[in-house]
Structure 1
Amino acid sequence: MAPNTPLFLSQYSASDRPESTPAPANRRTLSPRDTGTSDKFDNDDASWHGKVTTRTRITACTTVAADNEDPFSPSSDPEDPDIPEHVPKVPKDNELEDELENHPRLQTTMLALLGVEGNQEAIETQLAQMTNEETIAALLCTHAAVIKRLDNLAALMAGGPTQTPPVPNPVSPLFHEEQVRTHVYPGVFKDYIRRIAREAMLDKTLEAYGRDRQERSLFRTVMAQLALQLPTFKRANLPPKYLLDDQLAIAHVVAQVKSQLKHVRHKARNVLLTGMNPKDPPGYIPPLDEPSRLLWRHFMGGNTTMSDDQVTALLDLRPLLCTWFAFLRLATIHNHVSDALRNVSQWDQINCRLAQMRTLPVNYTRHWHRMLCSKDTQLFGPAPMRADLDIEQLACPTHAEVNARIAAQGARE
């Protein structure tokens, strides 16, 4: 550091100042009115700040005017006694432009604070004009800013991409077996199972209603639809560890699905037996058109947005579905009125008939369908009461009757 800086200057009393040394030509003497203090100004010093100065004479430096005093100079005298020394004075709004023009270092500092890159040549010029104290202060500030920026970058690189932490499963004091056994299925899950089961019963290609191991059974169709659900739905409605293929949880879900399918089949049976109970409306057994509409609305979740004519027009486009409804109704009524079949489920009887029909040729199936629709019209076309029905005739066409019809048609041809 150069010896002409204030840090290396010794202090002495005012009486020791030399009085015979003339003031340099490039300086002007400041009066107490200009400085705001009653002390005397020593022309031999480079600058004076209202305190004792050094013996060393500085003749190579020029003095900054009082009204343009550099706020970043370490020798500046703060106007406010509460502000510590070496703190720059913030210019007022109306003096900002003048201060920036008179103090280029202030302009560079403000550009650095705003994050704007300044002129490199101007910065080099300012560094060359700085004193040792100002240069050291600028270097320290630069090093501190670089270290802070590196720390921020290191923290960002160590943190990695921001990810939402997974929601932990609630901790339960019960064992897994107790959690599965006490699991309560919400109404949303039960409604979902019943809805997809009713829609599956509209499929005329269904091969079994009660046999769970059948490939195209009602149970396997519902379980396949459940497997397509999102993990969030399964996690919210099914027992713990079901997504992990836990056998205990799977068995509990299978039991719940079978319970809901039993409920769906029971509701469908009540619709198929419409008119068989004299105490229930309408009091008679309606023709096929009316139970077909009732079954379609039931399987579609109680659809009431369509009128009867609209539903009838829709069913006219699906004649095989109406034939399917006729088969389901006649088989259910036969199981209901037969004393020998009271302990046999009508769905088991229907499954047996479907398994038998799959082994027969297509020509046989066509004749059986025609005989079935003809018999339904003969029995229920006049909308009879139950007491007027011949119980012996309430059965699907037998194998012998179908073969006789096929033989008679072949003889005519």
Structure 2
Amino acid sequence: MTVTATFARDFPTERDSGCPFDPPAEYTELRAQEGTASLACPVGVEARVVSRYADVRAMLGDPNLSSHAAPSTHVVAGGLLDRPVAPGSLLNMDGPGHARLRRLLTPEFTVKRIQAMRPYIQGLVDDHLDALLARTGPVDLVRDFALPIPSLVICELLGVDYADRDRFQEQTAVLIGTNSDPAALEQANLEVVGFMTQLVLTKLAAPGDDLLGRLIVRARESGQELSVEELVTLGITLLIAGHETTANMIGLSTLALLRQPDQLAALRADPGLAGTAVDEMLRYLSIVQFGVLRQATGDVTIGDETIKAGEWLVAALSAGNRDESVFPDPDRIDLKREATAHLAFGYGIHQCLGQQLARVELQEVFARLHQRIPTLRLAVPFEDIEFKNDALVYGVRALPVTWDGENR
């Protein structure tokens, strides 16, 4: 059956200021209606917005949907939907080219390899908590805790000098903003590419025992040697994705839990809840806030609806994660909820390669932060917190916190 889009209006990008943790209210309406709505996106095209959980999974698992304009070009005003896909651009590639890169990278993100990093990550979390507790507060939990931990982890993985992180984080913020100044965007891109090119050339000359070094060796030994451009693009993708998403999750989830004292009390009482808590917060917050963009390369079926070749679709991840048919009472945090089937990491062949690493980092934070600082609280009124409404990855810009004297 073919269903005509029921109405056309602007793609929702604004959250309810009364509850900044919830996705736009329009998603609830979209899930309830028949078919998919065709909405006008800031980039200047109309796209079908897929908002029901089952439909989002079906969409992201369909090989006839191209990710060439991924991940969220639809909300970047003036974005280039038809820009050529750069060699090594894992997020934008389809078919055999994507499969080749994914195969080469997968050994670096196995459960066994990531679990082997857990002691290192535990040490980082405790070291940063020690540094916080040595101060009298208030402190910015984003700057002093949420950002440096995932930055150190991904730098360790890639073999990047951690001393370079501050400038890199500044440029990353520009690159993932939806309203960045074009000149600033170009300059940020030049700096990041230049930085990564130098790193790649160093690794090619003498591959070390780090992700980039092992990747270079693995590709050579398999007869699939990677070009400098491929390695640069892969390195930038991993460096940005590896710290930006996890850092924002640490800050935003801490704030959300501080607003839910019953759930926070349960986590403090039982650090073993960290496993389910992480997936529940990933579901609840869905920080890839505008979803992911795809284009049909052939006719596809989503639910009872036929989508024609050439049409654009947006998988609204946050809408699917609030689908009440899958997650009862979805607008409530329940840290005991088994939410591992959430869509925060996407689905299908482009599902986040580093999801196990993100889980381990978040588990160690959840299991340690609130146990060691049980009186953690906001140092400013909640209304003063500034949210990243104009970024592809949602979070808070700063999180001033303080605590009482009894800590561990």
- TM-score norm. by structure 2 comes to 0.21
Structure with the larger RCO, 1 or 2 (CA within 8 Å, 6+ apart):
2
